[in-house]
Structure 1
Amino acid sequence: MNASAQAPVTTLPPLLAHGEVRLSAEQIYPRLFDAILEQRLAPGSALPEQALGEAFGVSRTVIRRVLGRLCDQQVIVQRPSHTARLAAPDPQQARQILSARRLAETTLITLAAQRSRPTKIRQLRELVARERQHHEQGQRCTAIRLGGEFHLKLAEIANNAPLTRFLNGLVPQTSLIIAQYEARPCSHCAWQEHAAIIDALERGDGEAALALMHQHLDHIEAKLDLEG
């Protein structure tokens, strides 16, 4: 029996609200990602297209698009002729992902400080406002996902395509790691640190933005228990 066949399968309940119209792949992606971060799907779980299609009330073709995006971000592992399964980074892999992310982020924040414009600053603030709202409503996993989107928006502002593609795989994996290994709550919320980074970018203070990014990544790593 292959490894994917042995992976645990979590049966999802219907994920369409009463009277809700059929969802697109773009609408399903955040819902499925949030379910993953909430650990309604255990690390290593198989993600059969048929079961996911039934849960969301859509065809397997739509689900394939969602799984393809998650595969590109390395949140799921998908091999030819095998059922997709959720990634399960071990502590050593988690440390490597965090180290690689720090290298990418510290370069991208310097570039973003040089290229930020009022329109981009406004988009960042709108994203952080949503992150704060979900945090204050106790929707931790949605806030984690939106926090990741904040970092990807920074990469977009930096306008370095290879680094952006690199970070596009690291940030979602970090969200997965936070959901799996977070043990110690941080004294500062991520949205507050994101807001401080935006303030530095708006002032055009690249050195402050870089220092704040290092501090933010330090806090992410400090709240993880990777020793068990």
Structure 2
Amino acid sequence: MTVKSKAAANGQKTRDHDSEDDTAVEARIYQSIFDGVLDHRLTPGTKLPEPQLCQLFGVGRAVVRRVLEKLAYDGIVVLRPNKGAVIAAPTPEETREIFEARRALERTLVELAVEKASARDIEALRQQLAEEHKAMHRFDQPAWARLTSCFHLRIGALAGNSILQNYLTELISRTSLIVGVYEAPGNAPCEHDEHAAIVDCIEARDAAGAVARMTSHLRELEERIETSRMPGEKSLGQLLGMTEA
């Protein structure tokens, strides 16, 4: 190999290595923001300034912008021209569509989970329920929020369909935005009981029961959303106290 060809090869290796590093750090930034949404630390309207993200993760703006564009594509953030990115603020119509999509998707996923779940998988779900119970009783809302989302992701993983699982991940992140800000407080015990009933059906290989429980669970969660507090539900006059709600 000539000196020139060696240099070209080394240059290609360096570019490939940089690309791998960029991919890894992009995934880390994305996951950090995603986890912030799941934990309800990042609420609708939270600004995501590029300079601060660059400083926090030690990367250039090109990397941060690619992550923000992916988050925007997934509906987690909104990119505002000349104003930067903010965590998305779902509207009542978007909420209806998101829950409608989740019910349709999770019906299929829970059916597949009933078919494919092993005894070890059931044991892992029971452990998940135990962790939920502990978080609930120590009033650890961030941990509770993460565990409730992870419960659905775990069932999605048991279905064994990566395409459907990716769709579920996106929908759960968007649902977390809605629940974190607009759900009335004090619902943890009933949600935990609903999860336990779903696991009972999966263990009993009762697909119809599992689907019915999951559908009912998601409907009840949607019904607890206080859409009157969402953007677009009140006029400017109402917001200023000049007209009645």
Q: TM-score range by the shorter chain?
A: 0.7 to 0.9
The two structures have a TM-score, normalised by structure 1, of 0.73
Give the match's secondary structure for 2:97.
Answer: helix
Query: 1:70, CA displacement in angstroms?
Result: 5.0
Shift of 1:185: 3.8
| Change in CA separation of 1:185 and 1:95 when aligned onto 2, cut-off 3 Å | farther
Q: Tell me which residue corresponds to 2:149.
A: 148
Residue 33 (str. 1) matches residue 37 (str. 2): yes
Question: For the aligned residues, what is the CA RMSD?
Answer: 3.1
Contact (CA 8 Å) 2:136, 2:189: kept in 1 or not?
no
Residue 98 of structure 2 is aligned to residue 97 of structure 1 = yes
What do residues 43-81 of structure 1 show as CA deviations (whole Å, max 9, x unaligned)? 222212442465xx54247x9497677556532235899
Give distance in 2, aligned partners of 1:42 and 1:154.
26
Larger % of helix: which? Answer: 2
Aligned length: 200
Runs of 4+ in 1 over 6 A off after TM superposition: 79-82
Aligned to 1:226: 227
Larger radius of gyration: 2
2:121 maps to a residue whose letter is K
User: Identity across aligned pairs (percent)?
Assistant: 34
Task: Give SS of 2:47's match.
Answer: coil
The answer (yes or no) to whether the contact 1:34–1:142 under 8 Å persists in 2 is: no
Match of 1:3 in 2: none
Aligned to 2:218: 217
- In structure 2, the partner of 1:11 is none
Pick closer, same or farther for the CA change 1:168–1:117 going to 2, 3 Å: same
- Aligned partners of 1:30 and 1:135: how far apart in 2? 22
Q: Which runs of 5+ in 1 are unaligned?
A: 1-23
Deviations 1:80-100 (A, max 9, x none): 997332011111111111111
CA contact (8 A) 2:38 2:177 kept: no
Does the CA contact (< 8 Å) of 2:113 and 2:155 recur in 1? yes
Kept in 2, the 8 Å contact 1:145–1:175? The answer is: no
What SS does structure 2 have at the residue aligned with 1:189? helix
1:134 maps onto 2:135 in alignment: yes
Mark the CA change 1:211 to 1:113 in structure 2 (over 3 Å): closer, same or farther.
same
Which position in structure 1 is the counterpart of 2:112? 111
1: CA distance between counterparts of 2:53 and 2:127? 31
> Aligned partners of 1:146 and 1:72: how far apart in 2?
25
Taking a change above 3 Å as real, the CA distance of residues 117 and 96 of structure 1, as seen in their structure-2 partners, is same
1:157 aligns with 2:158: yes
* Residue-by-residue CA offset, 1:163-191 (whole Å, 9 max, x unaligned): 22211111111111111211264484322
